[in-house]
């Protein structure tokens, strides 16, 4: 039953006043049983965070995947410098000459912008080379680990049309509050609605608006991959055709349930791969088997799995905080 609950909270967390009672009713359990199981998973660090997951771009931030080439003796100091930027959410060492891979976002009011920020970081850490790999086409972003072993090999990736909404001060206040981890208690949203002096109906209706607009991707629990038993997670990069054929290939890759992220990114002379897929498995053998299955369906000139050897940072960006401006003041000479 634990695995069923973990599967459920990853996919669609109930947005109601008592979400754990809603889960319990669905699974024919008591609210106390569900709370006990999830509190145990949280204290064991299997559940990393339960919160709203926002779309960085739709909140006005500019972001990109970045790969640095850094000599081995400089990595530890370089990582400290890179991770000091509040827009770094993920940072890994991977098995390639481009060995440090991270995601970077800059705020809507950034004075430096993305490219200048990268120049400052690259110079500060004495990177031998770097490439910026922004998203050209997003096919899928949805981390749902197959904890039950019952998920189908393929899944349908829905194409969602988002509607525009007017962001009011209350919308921004709810974004700021709901981006943080909730407590595993009977009414986890009560403090937010009380602090904002609104009722549950207003709170959930705004979350629904944020989701319909694409600003909030979903509200869900994110698991710690390794703690949950998924010890072999590879970023697989593919050299595929560009244009309409490439988009069709990307959609095919995204359909694999073991793929959590799937993007088209630019190619360079020193980097021929443009399709990026994150593949999750419980062992290297399982992950490699999934990649082999994918290779039979993906028309690519070449592909390469990049496993992470070290995880330096994996957090959520904290939106609309003063940390971004403070970093630019300290490192960017923007006065």
**Closest listed residue to residue 289, CA positions, set 208, 232, 215, 213:** 232
**Closest listed residue to residue 58, CA positions, set 159, 209, 186, 181:** 209
Q: Phi, psi (5° rounding) for residue 81?
A: -70, -45
- Give the residue carrying structure tokens 């008592």: 18
**Closest listed residue to residue 254, CA positions, set 278, 290, 273:** 278
Cβ pair 58, 213 in contact under 8 A: yes
Q: How far apart are CA 202 and CA 40, in angstroms?
A: 31
The region that residue 205 occupies, defined by phi over 0 for left and psi between -120 and 50 for alpha, beta otherwise, is alpha
For the question of residue 90 being annotated catalytic, the response is yes
Q: How far apart are CA 103 and CA 93, in angstroms?
A: 12
Distances in Å between the Cα of 217 and the Cα atoms of 70, 90, 128, 213, 223 are 34, 18, 36, 9, 17
Q: Which of 90, 162, 171, 280 is catalytic?
A: 90
The region that residue 258 occupies, defined by phi over 0 for left and psi between -120 and 50 for alpha, beta otherwise, is alpha
Q: Active-site residue numbers?
A: 90
């Amino acid at each position: 039953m634990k695995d069923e609950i973990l599967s459920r909270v990853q996919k669609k967390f109930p947005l109601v006043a008592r979400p754990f009672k809603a889960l319990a009713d669905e699974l024919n359990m008591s609210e106390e049983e569900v709370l006990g199981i999830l509190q145990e998973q949280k204290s064991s660090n299997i559940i990393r965070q339960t919160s709203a997951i926002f779309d960085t771009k739709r909140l006005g931030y500019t972001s990109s995947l970045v790969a640095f080439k850094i000599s081995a003796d400089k990595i530890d100091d370089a990582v400290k410098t890179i991770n000091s930027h509040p827009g770094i959410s993920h940072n890994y060492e991977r098995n390639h000459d481009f060995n440090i891979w991270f995601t970077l976002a800059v705020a809507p009011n950034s004075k430096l912008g993305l490219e200048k920020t990268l120049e400052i970081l690259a110079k500060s850490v004495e990177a031998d080379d770097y490439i910026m790999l922004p998203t050209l086409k997003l096919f899928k972003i949805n981390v749902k680990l197959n904890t039950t072993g019952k998920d189908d090999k393929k899944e349908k990736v829905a194409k969602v049309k988002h509607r525009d909404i007017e962001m009011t001060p209350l919308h921004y206040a709810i974004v700021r509050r709901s981006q943080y981890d909730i407590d595993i208690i009977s009414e986890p949203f009560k403090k937010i609605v009380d602090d904002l002096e609104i009722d549950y109906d207003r709170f959930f209706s705004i979350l629904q608006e944020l989701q319909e607009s694409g600003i909030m991707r979903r509200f869900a629990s994110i698991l710690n991959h390794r703690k949950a038993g998924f010890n072999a997670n590879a970023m697989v990069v593919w050299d595929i055709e560009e244009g309409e054929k490439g988009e069709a290939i990307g959609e095919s890759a995204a359909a694999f349930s073991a793929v959590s992220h799937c993007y088209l990114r630019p190619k360079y002379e020193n980097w021929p791969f443009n399709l990026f897929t994150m593949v999750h498995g419980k062992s290297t053998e399982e992950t490699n088997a999934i990649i082999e299955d994918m290779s039979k369906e993906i028309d690519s000139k070449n592909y390469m799995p990049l496993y992470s050897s070290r995880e330096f940072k994996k957090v959520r960006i904290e939106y609309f905080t003063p940390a971004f401006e403070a970093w630019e003041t300290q490192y960017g000479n923007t006065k």
